Structure 1
Amino acid sequence: MDLLMFAFVAVIPVISYGFTVHGPSGPLVAPLGSSVVLPCYVDEPLPLDDLEVQWRRTDSETLVHLYQYGERPEVQQQDYHDRAHFFTDQIQHGNFSLRLDNLRAEDGGNYTCKVYSQQDSGETVVQIKDVDRLLVSGSSHSISAPVGEDVTLNCSVDSHIKPEHIEEVSWRKTDEDEDILVLLYLNNETFPDSSDERFRDRVEFFTDEIPKGNFSLRLKSVRTEDKGVYICHLFAGVLSANTTVILRPSE
């Protein structure tokens, strides 16, 4: 299964008397962590010496990027520094589209591309709508492990998702009357000391596999009392999902 965050981009063209600012004819789709192009262009090239193009978040007026009189002043909001880019060689042809890299869940919202020239001005509003799905794969059925042996409880997300997008992964054992923390991964760090004493020093992630989106758990020296339901719960921004593994120790 894939861990995906999709961005749907729709543009509303606004017609001015001097020129029309255009966008795409339909929605665009981009996954979390990838790049998305917010189209903004005019039919005919405009003089560069008096041209100004502003990309802003409509809700907050945050400046995403600015092109002004042949230059790109370094005045963009810090959240977009090194993530928002013009296609510099295309500006002279009337293409003011913006490339937004490393797409985040919080990038959802409205963006305005405002174009000013000596002739006139025009703008278009770009809306990024988040359709969020966080899907996690694990064991599709219960697994059996001999007492005293090691066992792997599977939990993984799509390999193209960067680990820094996964803010938290918690493995928990759920019983009828208690919720036991088995192992915690938080902000790119594993916290073995947070494990319940029944699992301390017996559980670990496959460290080399985490960059691939693999948060499977190795449980060492299986005990009879380890029998039960284990849940791998992942959090990425406002998204969360989980997968369940049932462990049945055998003699």
Structure 2
Amino acid sequence: MFQDGETQTGVQQEDYQDRAHFFTEEIQRGNFSLHLDNLRTEDEGQYTCTVHSQEETGETKVEIKVDGVGERLRVSGSNRSMSASVGEDVTLSCSVDSHITPEDLEVSWMKTDEDEDIVVLLYQNNEASPEASDERYRDRVEFFTDEIPKGNFSLRLKSVRTEDKGVYMCEVFAGGLSANTTVELERLGEYMDEYINTL
């Protein structure tokens, strides 16, 4: 809203605060076009610009259609191999950058072996599903629950075993979108043990 010679940000609906702006330098020319940042699917619909001037009123309407491709879903990890010794805990990174809220996301951590994909840990229906984990990982894996609202779906793998070595994939699903990141867990423990034993 523009009133009394200035933008009235205090009356904005919360969903549009810090996202909807006038082109300030254009207002003196009578241009009250609206700029909307970070388009979301829920922004779709009809918008009306109404101008009141003394006794007269005028308006124009515009409709926004949001293509699903406009949704942002980016998944990133550490982009490097992780090293751990047997018995240690290790964190495998997975960060989600999206307008889509965590409760609408599904996240699967899988270990991609040559002959099978092993379910390490799932997040669905706004909560972790440890019962879905393969028995080899059950009770040894967890999310950082407090970090999930920030889009952090990193995995803590406790008490690393020899057979944990391999490639892990964090895949994120949201509506018709999906994205993933992978990390390789290398194990240095046995080599360090052999080296120490020769000393």
TM-score (norm 2): 0.67
Count how many residue pairs are aligned between Structure 1 and Structure 2: 157
Q: How does 1:150-161 map to 2 (within 5 A)?
A: 150-158=89-97
Q: What is the SS of the residue equivalent to 1:135?
A: strand
The match for 1:133 among 72, 77, 80 is 72
The CA deviation at 1:199 is: 0.5
CA RMSD after TM alignment = 3.2
Contact 1:154 1:217 in 2 (8 A): yes
Q: What is the SS of the residue equivalent to 2:186?
A: strand
Matched to 1:127, the amino acid is I
Q: How does 1:163-174 map to 2 (within 5 A)?
A: 163-166=102-105, 168-174=106-112
The match for 1:198 among 121, 130, 136 is 136
Q: Establish whether residue 178 from structure 1 lines up as the match of residue 116 from structure 2.
A: yes
Alpha-carbon distance in structure 1 between the residues aligned to 2:140 and 2:89: 9
Percentage identity across aligned positions? 63
Kindly provide the CA deviation profile for residues 118-158 of structure 1, in whole angstroms up to 9, marking residues without a partner as x: xxxxx745132322331011111111111110000000123
Q: What is the SS of the residue equivalent to 2:118?
A: strand
Matched to 1:153, the amino acid is L
Q: What is residue 15 of structure 1 aligned with on the other side?
A: none
Instruction: Name whichever structure is richer in helix by fraction.
Output: 2
CA 1:151–1:32: 2 relative to 1, 3 Å: farther
Q: What is the SS of the residue equivalent to 2:48?
A: coil
Contact 1:161 1:213 in 2 (8 A): no
Q: How does 1:51-200 map to 2 (within 5 A)?
A: 94=58, 124=61, 126-130=63-67, 131-158=70-97, 162-166=101-105, 168-200=106-138
CA 1:26–1:44: 2 relative to 1, 3 Å: closer
Kindly provide the CA deviation profile for residues 143-180 of structure 1, in whole angstroms up to 9, marking residues without a partner as x: 111111000000012387532232x1100000111010
Q: What is residue 30 of structure 1 aligned with on the other side?
A: 38
Matched to 2:151, the amino acid is G
Q: What is the SS of the residue equivalent to 1:176?
A: coil
Q: What is residue 11 of structure 2 aligned with on the other side?
A: none
Alpha-carbon distance in structure 2 between the residues aligned to 1:191 and 1:150: 20
Q: What is residue 47 of structure 2 aligned with on the other side?
A: 39
Q: What is the SS of the residue equivalent to 1:129?
A: coil
Alpha-carbon distance in structure 1 between the residues aligned to 2:161 and 2:134: 15
Kindly provide the CA deviation profile for residues 46-66 of structure 1, in whole angstroms up to 9, marking residues without a partner as x: x9xxxxxxxxxxxxxxxxxxx
CA 1:207–1:248: 2 relative to 1, 3 Å: same
Alpha-carbon distance in structure 1 between the residues aligned to 2:129 and 2:148: 14
CA 1:31–1:187: 2 relative to 1, 3 Å: farther
Alpha-carbon distance in structure 1 between the residues aligned to 2:144 and 2:41: 23
Alpha-carbon distance in structure 1 between the residues aligned to 2:62 and 2:44: 15
Contact 1:30 1:36 in 2 (8 A): no
The CA deviation at 1:211 is: 1.2
